[in-house]
Structure 1
Amino acid sequence: MEKLTRIVPTISSAEIERDPHEAFKRYRAVHPIATLETGGTVVLRHADVSRLSRDTRLRATETAIPAHGGITQGALFDIFQHGMLTANGHDHERRRFAMSRALASQVIDDFRSCVRNAAEVLIDGFDREGAVELGSGYAAKLPILALAGMLGVPDRDVPVFTRDVDQMNEFFRPNATAAAMAEAELAAQRVQDYLTTVLARKRAGQANDFLSHYLAVADADQRISGVEVIIQLVQFIIGGTESMRVALVAQTANLLSNRAQWEAVCEDPALASPAVSESLRFEPGIAGVVRISTDDIDVDGWTLPAGQMVILSSMSALRDERVFERPDSFNIFRSDLVPSHLAFGGGAHKCVAEALGRAELEEGLNILAKRLPNLTMKTQPIFMGHVFVRRATECWATW
């Protein structure tokens, strides 16, 4: 019984907000798990995060998150109730099926073209200015513009579509006001209504694109409802915008802080792939995934109690000294870097659009390096957040 009565340490809010990487490092060295003062138990080590990502005793949150905030119906609630990311078991598998089949290699190639086109347009817009805030001027806009291209959103609809997606995403940002939450609900309904219209147009015509493939698989499968068809696209959009915003800023800032590595990418576009992987390891856009334990789970002699909120911290795991040499150093040439890692999750819920996310980050980096090789960072961004989607302060750059 000794192992079951160990007292799990608590990381204070002040400590983790001051420097989450340093806090995780300090506790990870001695403890496989720790509790957060704000609630929940965080799993810290790479082997444990990887293993528990596949453990069926840890379940996705379903509708617990909106319900905790008093939301029990409406467009935002539907995103959790009918989405694959928040589902478990059979519901998760059947909702994921059509999306995974639709994201074929040709779709990825087409998406790369959408990213390149969007990146060129954005850089054309600020090239003559000689300065840009990378977060708002590039990283916040590129993901949604690229997705709009992939989804076939007409140019005339892009501004409103972009606005609605951004307002909907307020729900997933920390410290959102009551007014912002109310607007997020309205925006979520507008996004769902718009996607319903887009899909109706797709069904009326014939095309060899992502949405047409997605609809064909979903219709043939017959295990997914009309509402679920829409909601998987909504979750796809959310997943492809919020975390990508931070990842785009992080990879640029990490490279510019290590000038020789930035110059290497400028000279050799093939280095974009390891640069993306290393940046996702070093400063991921998503800190971890939240699960609910359904049973007591042993973690190296320590116990995760049943009924607990559990954070599988990829942010901590990806700097685990047991796996990575000099983990607190950014190095795109490191030999212990694997192309697919915990930045995109693991197990049954591993990101279905990982290849798409990597394509966006690689193309977004390569176009920036090609167009602005003399880019110089003037303000170092600070990355915040240690549970789910992270955020960054301003990152000004000049050329």
Structure 2
Amino acid sequence: MIYLDNNATTYIADEVFEAILPYLKGEYGNASSIQHKKGRAASHAVEYARTVIADQLNAKPKEVLFTSGSTESINMVLKGVFEQYHLKGNHIITCETEHKAVLSICAYLEKKGATVTYLPVDKNGQIDLQLLRSNISKHTILVCLMAANNETGVIHPLEAIAEICQEKDTLFFCDATQYIGKEKLDLQRIPIDIMCFSGHKLHGPKGIGALFIRRKSKPIQIAPLVHGGNQENGLRGGTYNVSGIVGLAKALEIIDYSTPLNELRNYFEETLMAHIEECTIHAIQFPRIHNTSNVLFKYVKGSELMTKLPNVALSSGSACVSGNRDPSHVLKAMHRSDEDAYCSLRISFSRYNTKAEVDTVVQELTDAVTKIRDSSPIWQLYKSGNLG
């Protein structure tokens, strides 16, 4: 199979797999049991990984906490900030194209008394920075905006958002799950207050993630989501996932940003549009992460197209809502019709994909689209100019 669904999850890199193995067998100690050698070895591995991750993000080791992944981190931050800052206010700002993890928690918090502003986006998935600024009030406790969209790859202007939040003295939480590993993020240059990401999006293991919480003169307050022991300074109880933590650090450490994935992505898009008519790339002229392409095949349902490509892994949108029959909320927010949303597919590359694979996939897509359209009365009406 040719795997082009890397925004859903990624192959574990060989170097990561080798780094993990010792902590699944020989070095199986509990990192909190520092009274003996095996426990101390596990604790050292955790703290070394914390330092590696901090170095990669230009952060301090004490600013890095470990979770089971971004969904847990998002729950911890949104619920925890709402609980701790309720005396200041109850207002949260987010965006209509955020991941469902954010949107579902915001809906939950609204039932608990939160007021949530969902910023709209334009047809290219861009927010209006002046609208963001004008919506921040003295009651705003958190701005929650992702770094890069998981369906379209559209990148938010993180530096500008962070500056607005600093100017307004409001916390900025960034879900960087799709960004980390594809773009370099310097947390000293971009003053994000809180940020999360997951290992399995960057060729690391599943079930592990990291949460960055900036150390400030006025400490950021987040109530724990998981109570238990005193792990992670009391913010996240539970036995450390040592092998996962080691794998996450190794996955970050081996990333080579000198060979951007946009060369392969751009080759795919140019070749595809040269072979298939009425083929549109959503937000093609706007900043996107280097590996992601969301393609509209006019009058060809994405679900039908995928069944014609059994040896290619593609996606009709976010993996978290893949069983949902509704059109993509992201594309709908970008002012696409239901029809166009249903006829769109997400293709997401990794550094392990090749140009030869792209050529194969473009040919298979071309054949499948042609076959579907040849038997489609709607396509024939559209081509003859008699549709609508």
Higher relative contact order (CA 8 A, sep 6+): 1
Larger Cα Rg: Structure 1 or Structure 2? 2
Calculate the TM-score normalised by the size of structure 1: 0.30
Q: Going by fraction, where is helix more abundant, 1 or 2? A: 1
Calculate the TM-score normalised by the size of structure 2: 0.30
